[in-house]
Every structure is written in structure tokens, then in C-alpha cells.
Amino acid sequence: MEQLLPIFTYIAVAASAISGALEARKHEMDIVGATTIAFVTAFGGGTMRDLLLGRTPVFWVIDPGLTVTTFVIAVFTFYRLQSFSNRLLIFADAIGLGIFSILGATYALQRDISPIVAILMGVITGIFGGVLRDVLSNRIPSVFGQSTELYATCSFVGTSVFVLINSIPAINTLPASLIGALTVFAMRLLAVRFKVTLPSP
């Protein structure tokens, strides 16, 4: 599992960078705006996780490959992606949400943080990049609107599933992680597909 963490990180960063650059295009920003939003979306959640846990220098500072990857993806998505597709944005965002959630909980558990805080750390790591992306685009983060389909809830449920399965001694961390990330991912796509929202008071 240890060796797979960087790979998962790269996938989540790449997916988030795409979603960030697409969102910037929607808002008619220039390439600097698009790159910045891509970086913020890709690095935001993991950075917050590392700061809160005291893991500094943060993850992308010590691995320059992540910066290069995000930069290349942002420029490509901004200039070359012909058909803008809202579906791609939701898909890429859901991948990032799923993997980052599990990574957040994993690093917390590695530090002997209690399970309930590990779940919270998973949710923060999962959603924070997207929240920053939306705040910088100057609108109420979509995750908070009453008309929004389940978002943080998917991260919460999937991370809880991961922490629960992971606590069973007989089960390895890897299958637990995959099940957790897939739960977040599938739940998010189903919520968007069937417009599932939470009840209002």
C-alpha cells in the first residue's frame, strides 16, 4: 500500500487539475486564472491535510513531478481540449473526490489520529480543493447549495466505509482503500445522475 500512495496521489491530482481548468474556462478566465485554479483544485485538499497534521513541507513541495503534471494538464485542458463537456468535469471531479478522501483518512490513521477525526480529515481532503476552486470563482461553493446533489456526503460515506473495513484486522489496507474510493466515486455519479439532494429543514 505504501508504494501505491504516490500513484493514487498522481491520479487524484491529475483529475482535479482537469476539473479546475474546465471550471476556469466556464468562467472565462485567462490561462493564468486557469492554471491557478487547476493548481488550487489539485493541491488544495492535500495541502490542508498536511498542514493540519503537521506534515511539512507539504506533499507537492517535495515532489516536483506533481507541479509539472498539474501545469501541463492545465495548459492542455485550457488550450487544446476541443469539446468542453460538463460530464467530463463531473467525472474528473468525482475521481479526485474519491481518491483524496481515502488518502486524507489514510495519512491521519498513520499518525494514530482517532477514526472519527480521520473520517473528517478524509472529507476535508476530498472537498477542500473544490471549495477553494469555487470561492476563487466568487460563488457560494456548490457543495453548500440546497439544490446541489450529494457531494460531501459521498466523501463522508465512502471514507467511513474505508475506516470501518480497514479496522478489520484480517483485511488489508489496499482493498479497503479501493472499496472506499469506489464508494465515493459511484455514489457521487449516481447522485448527479438521479439528482439526489438532502432534505431541507
Residues that bind its own copies (CB under 8 A): 24-25, 27-33, 36-37, 39, 47, 51-54, 56-58, 60-62, 64, 67-68, 78-79, 108, 111, 113-114, 116-117, 120-121, 131, 135-141, 143-146, 148, 151-153, 197-201
In angstroms, what is the minimal distance from the CB of 144 to its own copies?
A: 3
Helix, strand or coil, per DSSP, at residue 84: coil
User: Among residues 143 and 165, whose Cβ is nearest to its own copies?
Assistant: 143
Q: Rounded distance, CA 16 to CA 22, Å?
A: 10
CA atoms within 13 A on the CB side of 198: 12
CA atoms within 13 A on the CB side of 142: 15
In angstroms, what is the minimal distance from the CB of 78 to its own copies?
A: 6
Helix, strand or coil, per DSSP, at residue 169: coil
User: Among residues 11 and 115, whose Cβ is nearest to its own copies?
Assistant: 115
User: Among residues 4 and 68, whose Cβ is nearest to its own copies?
Assistant: 68
In angstroms, what is the minimal distance from the CB of 150 to its own copies?
A: 8
Supply the angle between the helices 4-26 and 86-110 in degrees, to the nearest 10. Answer: 140
User: Among residues 24 and 181, whose Cβ is nearest to its own copies?
Assistant: 24
Residue from 193, 199, 196, 201 nearest 90 by CA: 193
In angstroms, what is the minimal distance from the CB of 126 to its own copies?
A: 12
